[in-house]
Amino acid sequence: MKKELYHVLGVMSGTSLDGMDLAEVSFFLKKDGTWAYTLGEAETVPYPEGWKKRLQKAVAYSEARLLQLNEDYTRYLSEVINRFIKKHDISGLDAVCSHGHTILHQPEQGLTLQIGNLPKLAQELQQTVVCDFRVQDVALGGQGAPLVPVGDRLLFSEYDYCLNLGGFANVSCERDKERAAYDICPVNIVLNRYAEMEGQAYDAGGMLAASGTLDRELLDTLNALEYYKRSAPKSLGIEWVRQHIFPVLAASEATPRTILRTMTEHIAMQLAAQFSEKSTVLITGGGAYNQFLIERLLSHAALNVKIPENTLVEFKEAIIFGLLGVLRLREDINCLASVTGAAKDHSSGIIFK
Cβ-in-10-Å burial (0-12, 13-18, 19+) of 113 comes to buried
Q: How far is CA 234 from CA 142, 145, 165, 274, in A?
A: 9, 8, 16, 14
Cβ-in-10-Å burial (0-12, 13-18, 19+) of 63 comes to exposed
Determine the Cα–Cα distance for residues 66 and 103; give it in Å rounded to an integer: 9
My answer on whether 208 and 339 are in the same domain is: no
Residue 301: domain span: 156-310
My answer on whether 305 and 170 are in the same domain is: yes
- What average pLDDT values come out for the chain (353 residues) when binned by 10 residues? 93 87 97 95 96 91 94 98 98 97 88 93 98 95 90 96 94 92 95 97 97 98 97 88 97 97 98 96 96 98 96 95 98 94 96 96
CA angle (129 as vertex; 123, 131 as ends), nearest 5: 120
Backbone angles phi, psi at 223, to 5 degrees: -70, -20
Note the pLDDT of residue 92.
98
Note the pLDDT of residue 1.
67
List pLDDT tens digits, range 52-86: 999 999 988 999 999 999 999 999 999 999 999 99
**What CATH number has the domain bearing residue 53?**
3.30.420.40
My answer on whether 199 and 290 are in the same domain is: yes
281 within 8 A of 304, measured Cβ to Cβ: yes
| Residue 346 DSSP code | B
pTM over 0.95: no
Backbone angles phi, psi at 344, to 5 degrees: -160, 160
Number of domains in the chain: 2
My answer on whether 13 and 137 are in the same domain is: yes
CA angle (11 as vertex; 349, 310 as ends), nearest 5: 130
Residues in the chain, how many?
A: 353
H or E, element range at 150: helix 149-155
